[in-house]
Chain A
Amino acid sequence: MKRENDNLFSDESAQQLDKNLSRLLKLTGKSDKPSRTFTKSLINDALNELKQLDVEKAETKNVIILPNWLEKAVGWAAMVAVACGAGFVVIISFFLKVNLLLEVIVVLTIVFNWISSLGGRV
């Protein structure tokens, strides 16, 4: 396979050539132990990874995640509280003889506030 010129055509081919030459040339070096540069860099990288894992572990410990059942219980409690509030408004307005339209507006406002406070979960 004859090339048109003697340059490296693209970054990709230059990189591939670099990788292959590196592997080929290593065949001719001493092979009883890895190079000092490689050893040093491997130790540093491994220790950094070790430190990073410890940091991630500590961060995970600090995050409070509510259990699923607790989240559901809070949702139901909120729903019961809203229903009681709506019932309370209806009863009070009946005794105070407030007109029906005002009564409906108050109940709807409570329900919408509740839905928006739950972030549309219900």
Chain B
Amino acid sequence: MTEKLEEKSWIDFAKGDADVWREFIDLEIPRLYGLFMDRWPNRSLAEELLQKTVFDAVRGRSSYDPSKGSPEKWIHGIARNNIRLQIRRRASRPSINGDISQYLEAIDTKPLPDEVLEREEMTKVVRSALSRLESKEKAVLEAKYIDELSANDIARQMNTTDKAVYSLLYRAKLSLRRELERIASLSKKEEK
């Protein structure tokens, strides 16, 4: 059975009771995240939309009416509205060209478009680039960007100092950029 906020808490939710909101957000985060990931398999975008939805709900708290239904139904309405906005935003953007190499070459000058990130081949390219890094470099990148650990936590995990983690992270980023560019140029050559 899916967990839901009890009906007796709906009024406290409308009043902005912090404990009820904490429980509610904690329950809703995985569901909303799943909803966004089903639409676009892009973790960064799902997190961005999730954040926007939660903040829209907090700021628009006064628009929730317990007599009209559950808070879950209400926040899912906000989420669907954010999906519609995202679809409209994407439709207004120029379409993405076939080749992903040009985007990887400009990785430190332009933001990567979501449409490029969502391509299946992109995950393969990143995995392949990661596999060519030294094990320490790969580990520090995964800890920082996938597990989202702080430098201090990484240092404790790796049994080293914060300074050493920053330095390793810097080197690892450069190595990954180099590998991504190498793969990009290879795919360009193959196309020719």
Tell me whether A28 and B177 are in contact (CB under 8 A). Answer: no
Cβ contacts under 8 Å, A39 to chain B? 26, 29
Could you tell me the distance between the alpha carbons of A45 and B45 in the complex, rounded to whole angstroms?
A: 18
Residue A26, interface by CB 8 Å: yes
Tell me whether A31 and B43 are in contact (CB under 8 A). Answer: yes
- Partner pick for B21 among A21, A22, A25, A50, CB 8 A cutoff: A50
Cβ contacts under 8 Å, B176 to chain A? 21
On whether A37 and B105 interact (CB within 8 A), knowing A16-B111, A22-B44, A46-B54, the answer reads: no
Tell me whether A50 and B61 are in contact (CB under 8 A). Answer: yes
Residue B163, interface by CB 8 Å: no
Residue B109, interface by CB 8 Å: yes
On whether A17 and B107 interact (CB within 8 A), knowing A37-B148, A47-B21, A50-B61, the answer reads: yes
Cβ contacts under 8 Å, B151 to chain A? none
8 A Cβ contacts from A1-60 to B: 1, 6-9, 13-14, 16-29, 31-35, 37-39, 42-43, 45-47, 49-51, 53-54
Residue B164, interface by CB 8 Å: no
Q: Which of B2-10, B65-73, B81-89, B120-128 forms part of the interface with chain A? A: B120-128
Residue B146, interface by CB 8 Å: yes
- Partner pick for B117 among A8, A24, A37, A51, CB 8 A cutoff: A24
Residue B173, interface by CB 8 Å: yes
Tell me whether A23 and B25 are in contact (CB under 8 A). Answer: no
On whether A43 and B22 interact (CB within 8 A), knowing A25-B145, A37-B147, A37-B149, the answer reads: yes
Nearest B residue to A18, CB-CB: B173
Could you tell me the distance between the alpha carbons of A32 and B18 in the complex, rounded to whole angstroms?
A: 27
8 A Cβ contacts from B160-192 to A: 173-174, 176-178, 180-181
Nearest chain A CB to B104 CB, angstrom units: 9
Could you tell me the distance between the alpha carbons of A8 and B181 in the complex, rounded to whole angstroms?
A: 14
Could you tell me the distance between the alpha carbons of A88 and B72 in the complex, rounded to whole angstroms?
A: 72
Residue B16, interface by CB 8 Å: yes
* Interface residues as binary, B19-58 with A (CB distance below 8 Å gives 1, 0 otherwise): 0011001100110011001000111101100110011001
Could you tell me the distance between the alpha carbons of A35 and B46 in the complex, rounded to whole angstroms?
A: 12
Across the A-B interface, the 10 shortest Cβ-Cβ residue pairs: A29-B146, A17-B108, A25-B145, A26-B43, A37-B148, A13-B108, A23-B44, A27-B123, A22-B145, A35-B148
A/B interface sample: 17 pairs, CB < 8 A: A1-B105, A16-B108, A17-B108, A20-B107, A24-B122, A25-B130, A25-B142, A25-B145, A27-B122, A31-B37, A32-B34, A37-B147, A42-B29, A43-B26, A49-B58, A50-B16, A53-B58
